Amino acid sequence: MEVPTTFGGEDAAEMVTELWRNFVSGKTRSYDWRVTQLKSIVKNVKERETEIVDALRSYINKPEFESVLFEDIKIGRWNMEDAEATTARYGIQVARRLGVACLWLEVT
């Protein structure tokens, strides 16, 4: 019987190291690619809001009202939509913190 693998601390450290190497190398994606990714994240959060709320309730006992209105889902979505609108309007570099993830949109 095969034992299922898990994603542990060492795996996370390897992933962060690889991502950091790519970042400092100057490799970058196009503005259009980044905007497409941002729109996709917003769409997926909207489509899966119920599942996200259920997971937050199940794992950390967070009430639905708190999850949706005050932080995790709505604020994350607002930040992503704001980053997209600001970048489209002014063509400036925008970073929005969403938990521990950062989305960077580059200047075109």
Of residues 28 and 51, more confidence is placed in 51
Higher per-residue confidence, 20 vs 29: 20
Give dist(CA 34, CA 39) in Å, integer: 9
- Distance, in Å, from the CA atom of 12 to the CA atom of 10, rounded to the nearest integer, reads 5
Per-residue pLDDT tens digits for 40-93:
877 887 788 788 778 777 877 777 666 665 555 555 555 666 666 655 554 444
- Which of the two residues, 82 and 96, has the higher pLDDT score? 82
The token duo for 100 is 């521990």
Average of per-residue pLDDT across 10-15: 86
Query: d(Cα 29, Cα 80) in Å, to the nearest integer?
Result: 18
Confidence of residue 96 (pLDDT cuts 50, 70, 90): very low
